[in-house]
Amino acid sequence: MIDEYNKLNNSFKKSLVFHVGWRAGFFSEYNNMILAMLFCLKNKIKFILYSGDAAFKYKAGWEDYFLPFCENTTNPIHRYLNLREHSTISTIKNFSTFKWFVKTFSFYYIAKLTKPFVSFNYYTQDLWKQIRTLDKHETYNIPELGINGDMQDACNIIINLTWKYNTHTESSINALISSIQMPDKYIGLHIRGGDKSSEADLLAASIYVNKAKSLSNLRQVFVLTDDYQIIEEIKTTYKEFEFYTFCDKEERGYFHEEFKKQSKTIIKKSHEKLFASIDLLNNSQLFIGTYSSNPGMFLGMRMPKNSVISIDLEKWQIW
């Protein structure tokens, strides 16, 4: 499939260098990368990846964890001039933010001035709005890759193309999954916490577990969460369940800006735990989460539609 993708991708005359990993958590970045790839396929634009300064990086970026699937650039120009999106005046709340705003817009206009001198056509910010407003109801037909369906169907194929671990990551994740000895059949939960309260109201853990009780007789549950207090709560309340998780006892929520300051070793191990958790959720008989979270949006594309239940939004959406 990668060969077919590269043959098609390399046939396009115009090109986008997509900057992944610089601003948000992993699945926010990854989901938008998938949408960008779909946009490029639809509009016959070559997709090129830059991940040289990704928050998930510990050596190189994307290839620290995954196999390459397209042309990768290491040109440091993209660190400064290739933005996910530019700011607006409404973000200026204090002097520190004002300085960030001025710096961002300076780079934005410098990027425009460089256009005649670079070998590609688009920075990420040039197409960001169009990428984010793709029609989820449209039928996407790209026969070279077996794509013929709505956005979720199309993104599912692109995920299968890109979600390929390198040898080291695959070994680490297999060891993690083996360490907790999951049963063959189980329910998966993603219970939000940490800085996600700034995006949406956090829902009580009981809502997730009660939904699981109402939909399945299974009582083995894998939980992705970033706050071990949630694990303690549901273990105490629902003694008929057996809960599994990679969340450590000292974890009290994920806060992206603080996480980026951690050592490269911690960043690597944390992402391997995240990927192992996501793979376990993907293999569950039933996943219950929120479409308003990026892991929920991702699993809404990766898993069969009838295996995903969102407790906050009735229908899958771009988040």
Residue in the structure block whose two tokens are 């898993």: 303
Q: Report the sign of the C-alpha dihedral through residues 147, 150, 155, 160, in that order.
A: negative
pLDDT, residue 266, reads: 87
Helices 151-162 and 26-43 cross at an angle (nearest 10°) of 110
**Local structure of residue 48 (DSSP, 8 states):** E
Rg of the Cα atoms in the chain: 20
Side-chain half-sphere exposure of 4, counting CA atoms within 13 A: 11
CA distance linking residue 174 with residue 171, whole number of Å: 5
Q: Beta strands 242-245 and 220-224: pairing type?
A: parallel
Give the type of residue at 52. Answer: G
pLDDT, residue 261, reads: 62
pLDDT, residue 23, reads: 78
- From first to last of its 319 residues, the chain has per-residue pLDDT tens of 899 999 999 999 999 999 999 878 899 999 999 999 999 999 999 999 999 999 999 999 999 999 999 999 999 999 989 988 754 444 444 546 555 555 556 666 677 677 766 789 999 999 999 999 999 999 999 999 999 999 999 999 999 999 999 999 999 999 999 999 999 999 999 998 754 444 456 789 999 999 999 999 999 999 999 889 999 999 999 999 999 999 988 776 655 556 556 678 989 999 999 999 999 999 999 999 999 999 999 999 999 999 999 999 999 999 8
The domain spans of the chain are: 2-162, 169-310
Residue 296's contacts (CB-CB under 8 Å, 6 or more residues apart) are 190, 289, 290, 308, 310, 319
C-alpha distances in Å from residue 273, one per residue of 53, 222, 247? 21, 13, 9
Buried/exposed 44-79: b ≥16 CB within 10 Å, e otherwise: ebbbbbbbbbbbbbbeebbebbbeebbebbeeeebe
C-beta separation of 21 from 29 below 8 A: yes
Q: Longest Cα pair distance anywhere in the chain, in angstroms?
A: 65
Fold of 169-310: Rossmann fold (3.40.50)
pLDDT, residue 254, reads: 56
C-beta separation of 292 from 272 below 8 A: no
pLDDT, residue 253, reads: 61
> Shortest CA distance to 169 belongs to which of 311, 41, 317, 272?
272
C-alpha distances in Å from residue 319, one per residue of 103, 104, 127, 254? 27, 23, 17, 18
CA distance linking residue 277 with residue 97, whole number of Å: 35
Tokens of 105: 């817009």
pLDDT, residue 275, reads: 98
Give the type of residue at 218. Answer: L
